[in-house]
Amino acid sequence: MFHKEGHKIIFTTLVIVVASFFLIDGFVTTEWLRTSLMLLVLGFFILILQFFRNPKRNTHPEVSQALSPVDGKVVVIEEVQENEVFKDKRIQVSVFMSPVNVHVTRYPISGKVTYSKYHPGKYLVAWHPKASEENERTTVVVENANFGKILYRQIAGALAKRIVNYAKVDATAQQGADSGFIKFGSRVDLFLPLHADIKVELNQKVRGGESIIAEIK
Protein backbone atom coordinates (compact mmCIF):
# COMPACT_ATOMS: atom_id res chain seq x y z
CA MET A 1 0.00 0.00 0.00
CA PHE A 2 1.28 3.46 -0.90
CA HIS A 3 0.45 6.74 0.80
CA LYS A 4 -1.90 9.07 -1.06
CA GLU A 5 0.74 11.82 -0.96
CA GLY A 6 2.88 9.71 -3.28
CA HIS A 7 0.31 8.78 -5.94
CA LYS A 8 1.10 11.65 -8.33
CA ILE A 9 4.85 11.33 -7.82
CA ILE A 10 4.77 7.57 -8.36
CA PHE A 11 2.73 7.94 -11.57
CA THR A 12 5.01 10.71 -12.88
CA THR A 13 8.10 8.69 -12.04
CA LEU A 14 6.66 5.63 -13.77
CA VAL A 15 6.09 7.65 -16.97
CA ILE A 16 9.67 8.93 -16.80
CA VAL A 17 11.01 5.42 -16.21
CA VAL A 18 9.12 3.95 -19.18
CA ALA A 19 10.23 6.82 -21.43
CA SER A 20 13.81 6.40 -20.22
CA PHE A 21 13.74 2.69 -21.03
CA PHE A 22 12.64 3.43 -24.61
CA LEU A 23 15.30 6.11 -25.03
CA ILE A 24 18.06 3.93 -23.59
CA ASP A 25 17.01 0.98 -25.73
CA GLY A 26 16.84 3.13 -28.85
CA PHE A 27 20.01 5.20 -28.52
CA VAL A 28 22.49 3.27 -26.36
CA THR A 29 24.14 0.58 -28.46
CA THR A 30 26.67 -0.77 -25.95
CA GLU A 31 24.94 -3.65 -24.21
CA TRP A 32 26.61 -3.38 -20.81
CA LEU A 33 25.99 0.36 -20.69
CA ARG A 34 22.35 -0.06 -21.78
CA THR A 35 21.76 -2.68 -19.07
CA SER A 36 23.49 -0.57 -16.42
CA LEU A 37 21.43 2.52 -17.25
CA MET A 38 18.18 0.55 -17.20
CA LEU A 39 19.05 -0.95 -13.82
CA LEU A 40 19.90 2.50 -12.50
CA VAL A 41 16.56 3.91 -13.64
CA LEU A 42 14.72 0.90 -12.21
CA GLY A 43 16.56 1.29 -8.89
CA PHE A 44 15.47 4.92 -8.70
CA PHE A 45 11.83 3.90 -9.23
CA ILE A 46 12.09 1.27 -6.49
CA LEU A 47 13.45 3.92 -4.09
CA ILE A 48 10.45 6.16 -4.82
CA LEU A 49 8.07 3.25 -4.20
CA GLN A 50 9.64 2.30 -0.87
CA PHE A 51 9.68 5.91 0.29
CA PHE A 52 5.93 6.31 -0.13
CA ARG A 53 4.96 2.94 1.30
CA ASN A 54 2.28 3.03 3.97
CA PRO A 55 2.26 -0.30 5.82
CA LYS A 56 -0.62 -1.13 8.10
CA ARG A 57 0.24 -0.84 11.79
CA ASN A 58 -1.26 -2.81 14.66
CA THR A 59 -2.08 0.04 17.01
CA HIS A 60 -3.61 -0.98 20.33
CA PRO A 61 -5.16 2.23 21.69
CA GLU A 62 -4.22 2.87 25.31
CA VAL A 63 -5.11 6.12 27.07
CA SER A 64 -2.14 5.87 29.45
CA GLN A 65 0.45 5.55 26.67
CA ALA A 66 1.95 7.87 24.06
CA LEU A 67 3.06 6.05 20.90
CA SER A 68 5.79 7.05 18.50
CA PRO A 69 4.37 9.32 15.79
CA VAL A 70 6.86 8.06 13.18
CA ASP A 71 9.35 5.34 12.27
CA GLY A 72 13.01 6.04 12.91
CA LYS A 73 15.67 6.32 15.60
CA VAL A 74 15.43 8.17 18.92
CA VAL A 75 18.10 10.89 18.84
CA VAL A 76 17.05 13.19 21.70
CA ILE A 77 15.66 12.58 25.20
CA GLU A 78 16.01 15.67 27.37
CA GLU A 79 14.21 18.23 29.48
CA VAL A 80 13.77 21.47 27.54
CA GLN A 81 11.90 24.76 27.59
CA GLU A 82 9.05 24.64 25.04
CA ASN A 83 8.39 28.23 24.02
CA GLU A 84 5.87 28.10 21.20
CA VAL A 85 2.82 26.80 23.07
CA PHE A 86 3.44 25.67 26.64
CA LYS A 87 6.03 28.25 27.76
CA ASP A 88 7.33 25.78 30.33
CA LYS A 89 9.55 22.74 30.80
CA ARG A 90 8.76 19.51 28.94
CA ILE A 91 10.50 16.25 28.12
CA GLN A 92 11.48 16.26 24.47
CA VAL A 93 11.80 12.95 22.62
CA SER A 94 12.98 13.31 19.02
CA VAL A 95 12.83 10.64 16.33
CA PHE A 96 15.02 11.00 13.24
CA MET A 97 13.79 9.52 9.96
CA SER A 98 16.24 8.55 7.24
CA PRO A 99 15.07 8.52 3.58
CA VAL A 100 14.48 4.75 3.84
CA ASN A 101 12.06 4.99 6.77
CA VAL A 102 8.28 5.09 6.45
CA HIS A 103 7.42 8.81 6.52
CA VAL A 104 3.80 8.70 7.62
CA THR A 105 3.12 10.79 10.75
CA ARG A 106 0.61 9.30 13.20
CA TYR A 107 -1.20 10.72 16.22
CA PRO A 108 0.71 9.72 19.40
CA ILE A 109 -2.43 9.85 21.56
CA SER A 110 -6.18 10.07 21.11
CA GLY A 111 -7.91 13.30 22.05
CA LYS A 112 -8.83 16.72 20.74
CA VAL A 113 -6.55 18.79 18.49
CA THR A 114 -6.22 22.14 20.27
CA TYR A 115 -3.41 23.71 18.20
CA SER A 116 -2.11 23.27 14.65
CA LYS A 117 0.25 25.70 12.96
CA TYR A 118 2.63 25.72 9.97
CA HIS A 119 5.93 27.60 10.12
CA PRO A 120 8.01 28.31 7.00
CA GLY A 121 11.75 28.11 7.57
CA LYS A 122 15.17 26.78 6.67
CA TYR A 123 16.27 23.28 5.61
CA LEU A 124 19.08 22.53 8.03
CA VAL A 125 19.97 18.85 8.47
CA ALA A 126 17.31 17.31 10.70
CA TRP A 127 19.70 16.53 13.58
CA HIS A 128 20.96 20.13 13.78
CA PRO A 129 20.28 21.64 17.26
CA LYS A 130 18.52 24.63 15.69
CA ALA A 131 16.35 22.56 13.31
CA SER A 132 13.42 22.47 15.77
CA GLU A 133 13.26 26.28 15.87
CA GLU A 134 14.52 27.41 12.45
CA ASN A 135 13.49 24.75 9.89
CA GLU A 136 10.19 24.50 8.07
CA ARG A 137 7.88 22.76 10.53
CA THR A 138 4.37 22.20 11.79
CA THR A 139 3.31 22.14 15.43
CA VAL A 140 0.30 20.15 16.64
CA VAL A 141 -1.10 19.81 20.17
CA VAL A 142 -3.46 17.00 21.17
CA GLU A 143 -5.19 16.98 24.55
CA ASN A 144 -6.86 14.23 26.55
CA ALA A 145 -7.76 13.58 30.18
CA ASN A 146 -4.79 11.28 30.90
CA PHE A 147 -1.81 13.10 29.39
CA GLY A 148 -3.20 16.60 29.34
CA LYS A 149 -1.59 18.27 26.33
CA ILE A 150 1.05 16.63 24.13
CA LEU A 151 2.83 18.55 21.39
CA TYR A 152 4.45 17.00 18.36
CA ARG A 153 6.39 18.90 15.72
CA GLN A 154 7.09 17.74 12.17
CA ILE A 155 10.44 19.18 11.07
CA ALA A 156 11.76 19.35 7.52
CA GLY A 157 15.35 18.24 6.90
CA ALA A 158 17.95 18.97 4.25
CA LEU A 159 16.07 16.77 1.74
CA ALA A 160 12.50 17.28 2.97
CA LYS A 161 10.85 20.08 1.02
CA ARG A 162 7.21 19.43 1.81
CA ILE A 163 5.44 18.80 5.09
CA VAL A 164 1.83 17.63 4.98
CA ASN A 165 -0.27 18.08 8.11
CA TYR A 166 -3.87 16.85 8.34
CA ALA A 167 -4.50 17.92 11.96
CA LYS A 168 -7.16 20.61 12.26
CA VAL A 169 -8.07 22.50 15.43
CA ASP A 170 -11.08 20.95 17.22
CA ALA A 171 -10.76 17.71 15.23
CA THR A 172 -10.76 14.38 17.08
CA ALA A 173 -7.41 12.61 16.97
CA GLN A 174 -7.31 8.82 17.03
CA GLN A 175 -4.13 7.27 18.40
CA GLY A 176 -2.08 5.72 15.59
CA ALA A 177 -4.18 7.24 12.80
CA ASP A 178 -2.56 9.07 9.89
CA SER A 179 -1.99 12.75 10.76
CA GLY A 180 0.41 13.78 8.00
CA PHE A 181 3.48 13.04 5.91
CA ILE A 182 6.98 14.46 5.47
CA LYS A 183 8.65 13.98 2.09
CA PHE A 184 12.28 12.85 1.95
CA GLY A 185 13.92 12.65 5.34
CA SER A 186 13.38 14.66 8.52
CA ARG A 187 12.47 14.31 12.20
CA VAL A 188 9.58 14.62 14.63
CA ASP A 189 9.86 16.10 18.14
CA LEU A 190 7.45 15.00 20.85
CA PHE A 191 7.00 17.19 23.95
CA LEU A 192 5.65 15.34 26.99
CA PRO A 193 4.76 16.29 30.59
CA LEU A 194 7.67 16.14 33.02
CA HIS A 195 6.02 13.36 35.03
CA ALA A 196 5.71 11.09 31.98
CA ASP A 197 7.55 7.77 32.31
CA ILE A 198 9.80 7.54 29.24
CA LYS A 199 9.96 4.03 27.79
CA VAL A 200 12.62 4.48 25.08
CA GLU A 201 16.38 5.00 25.05
CA LEU A 202 18.74 6.98 22.84
CA ASN A 203 19.47 5.29 19.48
CA GLN A 204 16.52 2.94 19.90
CA LYS A 205 14.61 2.22 16.70
CA VAL A 206 10.87 2.85 16.92
CA ARG A 207 7.80 2.22 14.77
CA GLY A 208 5.06 4.78 14.30
CA GLY A 209 1.76 3.79 15.85
CA GLU A 210 3.27 0.81 17.71
CA SER A 211 6.31 1.70 19.84
CA ILE A 212 5.52 3.10 23.29
CA ILE A 213 7.35 6.37 23.91
CA ALA A 214 5.95 7.18 27.36
CA GLU A 215 3.34 6.22 29.96
CA ILE A 216 1.37 8.16 32.52
CA LYS A 217 0.92 6.26 35.74
- Residues with catalytic function: 186
Q: Cα separation of 105 and 183, whole Å? A: 11
Q: Cα separation of 92 and 83, whole Å? A: 12
Secondary element (H or E) of residue 91? strand 88-97
Half-sphere exposure of residue 57, counting CA atoms within 13 Å on the CB side?
Answer: 25
Q: Cα separation of 58 and 160, whole Å? A: 27
Q: Cα separation of 15 and 153, whole Å? A: 35
CA proximity to 97, closest of 131, 65, 122 = 131
Q: Cα separation of 91 and 65, whole Å? A: 15
